[in-house]
Structure 1
Amino acid sequence: MDAVTELLRRDPERALNQMLSAYTGLVYHAAAAVLGRSSHEEIEECVSDAFLVVYNGRERLDFSQGSVKAYLCATARNLAINRLNKRASAKEVLLDELALSSEETESAAIRNLEAEALVNAILALGEPDCKIILYRYYFNLPSKQIAKLLGLKQNTIDQRMRRALAKLNRLSKGGNLYDK
């Protein structure tokens, strides 16, 4: 057992100060070797965490298996690896969210195009069929009320609606508005 290990058992605060002054550079290099081009702050945070883990675990750690210096370096390395793994999984989640987001955007764009095509097809029906379809399916008005609004018989409204829907159906299947 070295002097720092013995001091850690007797006077933990003083031992922490000694560990910080003696091993900070070494522990920093151990963390930086794993974290590579990470920010200085991230590496320092990893170093601080390593000192904290060893300090808080001083009662449970078996220093006969290794020195305080070895525990600090191994802890810093493991914490750095955990940070890299967490960062990689966060990137995967972000990429998954972006993929999902682009799929949702694509679906919304397709729905908008389809809705626009439908409105254009309805407008191409001409009067009064265009108004009949809009009143019925966009404003949810019953054919009796549509008949009153347009000054036509309810029978005429129902018949024109059937014909207009048949035309729209043909159009949706790639046909022409006037095909039979």
Structure 2
Amino acid sequence: MYGYRENSFSCASIYISGLRNEVTCVNETKLLRQLKRGSTAALSEIIDLYTPYVYAIASNVMRPMLPAEDVEEAVSDCFAALWYNRDSVEPGKLKGYLAVVVRNKALSALRSKHIESALEDDIIDLAAGSPEEGILTLELRELAREAVDTLGEPDCEIFKRHYFLYQKTEDIAAALGMNGATVRTKLARGRQRLKYYLEERGYGNEA
């Protein structure tokens, strides 16, 4: 349906790295304005632009436990949710909204089959909950992205693969030529650094 498959992670990485430049704030604002007016043409353009990104997230969460058809269904449901909730999406938040929604759709599909997700839950896993709850965390997600960008390589790439594309640690290790223990150690140390980064900016502290 979408002409994109889960074994194209490298293509997804290239796509995502260039997405910020390809979809400018002006273009996104224009598309969202048209979408909120009920433009199906705007929805089609958004689908064309973001399908590789959305599919990569769904695939990384669901495969190989579920077939590709289920991944495509999660992607379709994600864009359907965007259409029905289009009035709640703010300019500059579209990419984050889609990531939240498709992740939740993917996890729901796993739960419906009584399959436990291999993803970790921690301070950077900010997309939990309903899409509506996810919208409230988008500002924090953007701050987390800024924090990740302060990490050196390969830590930065490891974090982006795991937390923004939801790639599993063993897949990251294989892609980067590392062992799984090294990836998990870097994630654990990086999480602590990011925790401090967020706390310094007023997040994560108990009142």
Please give the range of the TM-score, normalised by the shorter of the 2 chains.
Answer: 0.3 to 0.5
Decide which structure has greater helix share.
Answer: 1
Structure number with higher relative contact order (C-alpha < 8 Å, ≥ 6 residues apart)? 2
Q: With structure 2 as the length reference, what TM-score do the two structures score? A: 0.39
